[in-house]
Amino acid sequence: MTAEGSSDAPRPATRRARDAARLAKIFGEVLPETTGDERGDETESLSDDWLRSQVPPHHGS
């Protein structure tokens, strides 16, 4: 088998970028650019507020 057909052969940067863009288009962002620690608690509190607002009145608070 030649080096071109092996998975260990380095791919050109343009092909890697194209492949990454294609995967992102199909599957979305697999891993976020930042971690939850870097983003802070804003995302969590927004989802908590939304969840609390979805509780039906007969369930109380």
- List helix spans (H) across the chain: 13-27, 36-39, 42-53
- The mean of the pLDDT values for the chain is 74
Distances (CA, A) of 25 to 9, 21, 33: 25, 6, 16
- pLDDT surpasses 80 at 10: no
Say what the pTM is.
0.32
Is residue 9 within 8 A of residue 3, CB to CB? The reply is yes
pLDDT at 60: 67
